[in-house]
Amino acid sequence: MKTISIQKTTAPKAKPQDESKLGFGHYFTDHMFLMNYEEGKGWFDPRIVPYGDFAMDPASMVLHYGQAIFEGTKCYRRADGGLQLFRPEANLARMTRSAQRMCMPALDEETALEGLKQLVLLDQEWVPHSEGTSLYIRPTMISMDVHLGVHASKTYLFFIILSPVGSYYKDGLKPVGIYVEDQYVRAVRGGTGFTKCAGNYAASILAGDIAEKKGYSQVLWLDGVEQKYVEEVGSMNMMFAYGNRIVTPALNGSILPGITRDSILTLARQLGYETEEARLAIADIFADIRSGKLTEAFGTGTAAVISPVGKLCMDGEELVIGGGEIGAISQKLYDTLTGIQYGKLPDENHWITRLS
């Protein structure tokens, strides 16, 4: 692991006072972590510096061809005031998998993890205290060559920024309405769907915007070939409950292998639920909601945690799930996952790194 230099800010910012109004991604802490890469030299100069603007040449390749990947993980404050991370190494390992698909260099995960920990500790006063809040950690890698030819860059910047957050959706744990997208697709076979590349999110914004204007929080993406099978929501993976059985789309290369998805499947099994990863036809999901067989739907993600889905709309038909209320399974899984993350429940799976 490389040595990380630290330059502290001389002008700390005022922290948000009202934690009930944090929302998601509005505030940023006093410092950031940076590390550069050059072909033939590898990752170098890991450093923590005051949070601030980047100076970039307008011909920097990321601005044109979008070699940009990111991650999202969180730091939680325990009731005793101590801090803990939840599976940060899984996020950094996923970044290396994203990098491989995007023809970017594998991350120096060890130095990145150490940088992440030191950065959070330096800005620890920014970790909020209220229930349901946390410090969102955003590791990102971008291509930096100044060149307009379409090929892989030879230089990259990796950085981590921190943002104190409340819930991702404005209504918190209240069930959201989701619009089933049947015109646009998010990912195709052989594409970048399984990566956390910025382009996946850029491609999703138009459909999200249209859905929002219709009164829905987000879209549910269907497969890019037949537009028949459930993929993911974009900011979260989807799960459906049939009594004590929880089903979710199988990882098929075009959906994100969510770390919260994996954690929830593990916890669900440990809690005695049956779990199944399968190809799920949206027509069957709708039929099962109509017949009452499908009892709950919820999304999972770092930002979204567990977000109950109370309504699904497709082809002008809107169906209410579980009376539009949070279901018992969603609540149980939410309580278990957040109980572990905030240190209220034992960490039997060894997912937690205590920082203080």
Cβ proximity to ligand COI, 235 vs 295, nearer residue? 235
Residue from 22, 32, 72, 187 touching ligand COI (CB under 6 A): that is 72
On the CB side of 268, how many CA atoms lie within 13 Å of its CA?
A: 26
302 binds ligand COI (CB under 6 A): yes
**Residue 249, helix vs strand vs coil:** strand
CB of 304 to ligand COI, least distance (A): 6
Cβ proximity to ligand COI, 43 vs 70, nearer residue: 70
CB of 93 to ligand COI, least distance (A): 15
Decide: is 208 part of the binding site for ligand COI (CB under 6 A): no
Nearest CB to ligand COI, comparing residues 201 and 242: 201
Candidate residues 140, 235, 237, 300; the one interacting with ligand COI per rule CB under 6 A: 235
d(Cα 249, Cα 193) in Å, to the nearest integer?
A: 13
Answer whether 266's CB lies under 8 Å from 205's CB: no
Q: What is the 3-state secondary structure (H, E, C) of 256-317?
A: CCCHHHHHHHHHHHHCCCEEEEECCEHHHHHHHHHHCCCCEEEEEECCCEEEEEEEEEECCE
Is 79 in a helix, a strand, or coil? coil
Report if residue 134 touches ligand COI, rule: CB under 6 A. no
* Candidate segments 41-49, 96-104, 299-307, 327-335, binder of ligand COI by CB under 6 A: 299-307
266: Cα within 13 Å, side-chain hemisphere: 13
Candidate segments 48-56, 58-66, 285-293, 296-304, binder of ligand COI by CB under 6 A: 296-304
Instruction: Say how far apart CA 22 and CA 39 lie, in whole Å.
Output: 40
Tell me the window of 27-35, 174-182, 298-306, 325-333 that interacts with ligand COI (CB under 6 A): 298-306
Taking CB positions, which residue lies at the least distance from ligand COI? 72
Residue 188, CA distances (Å) to 214, 234, 313 in order: 26, 14, 23
- Nearer Cβ to ligand COI, position 235 or 330? 235
Q: Pick the binder of ligand COI from 303, 326, 333, 352 (CB under 6 A).
A: 303
Smallest gap from Cβ 37 to ligand COI, in A, equals 22
DSSP string, 126-148: GS--STT-EEEEEEEEEE--B--
Q: Which residue in 74, 70, 142 sits closest to 337, CA to CA?
A: 74
* Residue 45, both tokens: 């100069």
DSSP string, 96-122: HHHHHHTT-PPP-HHHHHHHHHHHHHH
Q: Which stretch binds ligand COI (CB under 6 A): 11-19, 211-219, 278-286, 301-309?
A: 301-309
Q: Which is nearer to ligand COI, 160 or 294 (CB)?
A: 160
Considering only 115, 208, 301, 322, the residue that binds ligand COI (CB under 6 A) is 301
Query: Binding residues for ligand COI, per CB under 6 A?
Result: 72, 201, 235, 301-303
